[in-house]
A and B are shown apart, each in its own frame.
Chain A
Amino acid sequence: MSFQDILFYIFSAILVAAALGVITMRNPVNSALLLVLSFVTCAGLWLLLEAEFLAITLVLVYVGAVMVLFLFVVMMLDINLDRLREGFWKWFPFGAMVALIMVAEMSLVLMGKYFGLEEMPAPMPHDADYSNTRELGRLIYTEYVYAFELAAVLLLVAMVAAIALTLRHREDKRPTDSSKQVKVKKEDRLRIVSISTIKKD
């Protein structure tokens, strides 16, 4: 067993344990933190597959930005743990059915004859100076440019929609103009008056 295999099993064990923890932890904050852990270990697994760009982007985007906001919201919720567990058994059959269908679908794909070690041999490892990021960038901006632009437009539409849904004009608001405020000089606000302090007899 090579060193990379050992690393793979360590990362996988942590990933499975953390993923189980996400759904079994009582406290949602712990669940969110375990989700962060599973993202990071997943990035480690991707690094073993020589996908360093994807691995670092996963950490940068999901761990560095998305989960921070997620954690933020979860921490501010006033969560009643007993009410959260209410109706667990009522919804259990439905949840179990969805899980079973997903397992069945995945096994149909993964155990089929078009998928497996014989069909997909391990790719040749690249040299140390091979830049995964450069190759990915070249492909995105040449062959897959339309798909890439479409994804970008989709994100833009989602952003505009999110802002449009939450933006409200309120009558009672008194907006401040920061650029006016920072332009204020001493002369505009302050008047220095000289008053003689000695009482004249």
Chain B
Amino acid sequence: MEYFQQQFIDLFGTEWGAMLYTLASNMTFIFAIVVPLLLGVAYLTFAERKIIAYMQIRVGPNRVTFFGIPWLRGWGQPIADAVKAIMKEIVIPTGANKFLFILAPVLTIMPALAAWAVIPFSPELVLADINAGLLYILAMTSMGIYGIIIAGWASNSKYAFLGAMRSAAQVVSYELAMGFALVCVLMMSQSLNLGDIVNGQQGSSLLNWYLIPLFPMFLVYLISGVAETNRAPFDVAEGESEIVAGFHVDYSGMAFTVFFLAEYSNMILVATLTSIMFLGGWLPPIDIMPFTLIPGFVWLLLKIAFVLFLFLWFRATFPRYRYDQIMRLGWKVFIPITLIWIVVLGGIMQLPETMRNTFPLNIWF
């Protein structure tokens, strides 16, 4: 690192060299996040098809391979899908607002990628270590809804518009429950910085993770996350039995693929946030020898993979919710639960010092 910095300073002079070095290192970091993320999205679609296939006693994609290698059968599928999508024509419907029609997928993927800036991958590995990281994440994820609304409106189609309306109402409702669940996390960690939140869960074992004291909040956050990303069983925004494919029914080719990318990168984002807030981020489950040898980055990846598996499992298991039941779950079940838990948590935090130092409470408070 310092070698490269010196090279830049030698090349461009003291003032410009330092600036250009910061720019170059940040750009490298951004690419190091975005490229694996997009590859992860591609192979998440493959994993989804394979896992759901095995759950339904099918085989799933098993044809496309690289260079004819037989044991890689199926692994070329996401690449082949991407190539197909790039080749296709983007059809713009009659009467559509052309500018907004093209802008909508861009507006969807932008916040899905921008939120990754504050995610800590290990104690040192974070692009932007800002104080208000949690707030930044909430702000970015709440902006993702614009792409959906604009797509629904600009398509000039009733089906697309109905899908957009459903989606907007659902996302705005579940954002509240999600935010309240995160308020509990920040009450425990007393910080909005994601790195500090993980450090607050440090201890001898997984008992210290916020998963245990905030278990109801973990469930609320996970389920709201599924609803927020419009995944099954909350995928009424694109309920194909009722409104064809929802807000992106008129999109084709690469424009559709960008929506797809955004949905899956949002899924990975929610899985990452769940791992960081409740499952101890980069911390190993037990702080003893064989587990501590594995780098923290790998632990984080394993936790993300586990939560993503839950997402796929939900999709294979549950039938789709009816719309009024979705709203009831968000407003009448989750929000009261989170509010009560905030009060309970605040009460525990106000207990006298001696009581907080007795056995089960002294692990977390």
Contact = CB atoms under 8 A, between A and B. Distances in A.
Interface of A: 29, 33, 36, 52-53, 56-57, 59-60, 63-65, 68-69, 71-72, 75, 129-134, 176, 178, 181-182
Given A60-B139, A60-B142, A65 B132 contact: no
A56 B136 contact: yes
B85 interface: no
Interface of B: 97, 100, 130-132, 135-136, 138-139, 142-143, 145-146, 149-150, 153, 161, 165, 168, 172, 175, 192, 324-325, 328
Contact of B132 (A53, A63, A71, A75): A53
Contacts of B132: 52-53, 56, 131-133
A71 B143 CA distance: 13
B146 A57 contact: no
A88 to B, nearest CB: 24
A184 to B, nearest CB: 12
A52 B134 CA distance: 12
Given A132-B131, A133-B192, A178-B325, A59 B139 contact: yes
Q: Which 6 A-B pairs have the closest CB atoms?
A: A64-B142, A59-B139, A60-B139, A56-B135, A131-B131, A178-B328
Contacts of A129: 131
B149 A64 contact: no
A179 to B, nearest CB: 8
A182 B321 CA distance: 10
A65 B325 contact: no
A133 B131 contact: yes
A53 B138 CA distance: 12
A132 B132 CA distance: 9
B104 to A, nearest CB: 11
17 contacts: A29-B153, A33-B150, A52-B130, A52-B132, A53-B135, A59-B142, A59-B143, A60-B138, A63-B143, A65-B142, A65-B175, A69-B172, A71-B146, A75-B149, A75-B161, A131-B131, A133-B135
Given A56-B135, A59-B143, A64 B175 contact: yes
Given A64-B139, A131-B131, A36 B328 contact: no
Contacts of B192: 131, 133
Contacts of A29: 97, 100, 153
Given A68-B146, A131-B131, 19 more contacts: A33-B100, A52-B130, A52-B132, A59-B143, A60-B138, A63-B142, A64-B142, A64-B143, A64-B145, A68-B145, A68-B149, A72-B149, A72-B168, A75-B153, A75-B161, A130-B131, A131-B132, A131-B192, A133-B131
B20 to A, nearest CB: 12
B24 to A, nearest CB: 16
B336 to A, nearest CB: 13
A90 to B, nearest CB: 30
A72 B153 CA distance: 9
Candidate in A52, A130, A133 with the most chain B CB atoms within 10 angstroms: A133
Given A64-B145, A68-B145, A72-B168, A57 B135 contact: yes
B149 A71 contact: yes
A63 B172 CA distance: 12
A178 B136 CA distance: 36
Nearest to B145: A68
Nearest to B164: A75
Contacts of A181: 325
A64 B135 CA distance: 12
A75 B152 CA distance: 10
Nearest to B150: A33
A56 B165 CA distance: 25
A36 B135 contact: no
Candidate in B100, B130, B135 with the most chain A CB atoms within 10 angstroms: B135
Contacts of A56: 132, 135-136, 138-139
Contacts of A33: 100, 150
A129 B135 CA distance: 16
Contacts of A64: 138-139, 142-143, 145, 175
A121 to B, nearest CB: 25
A29 B97 CA distance: 11
A129 B168 CA distance: 36
A28 B175 CA distance: 26
Nearest to B133: A56
A185 to B, nearest CB: 15
Contacts of A176: 324
A56 B362 CA distance: 34
A129 B191 CA distance: 12
A64 B146 CA distance: 8
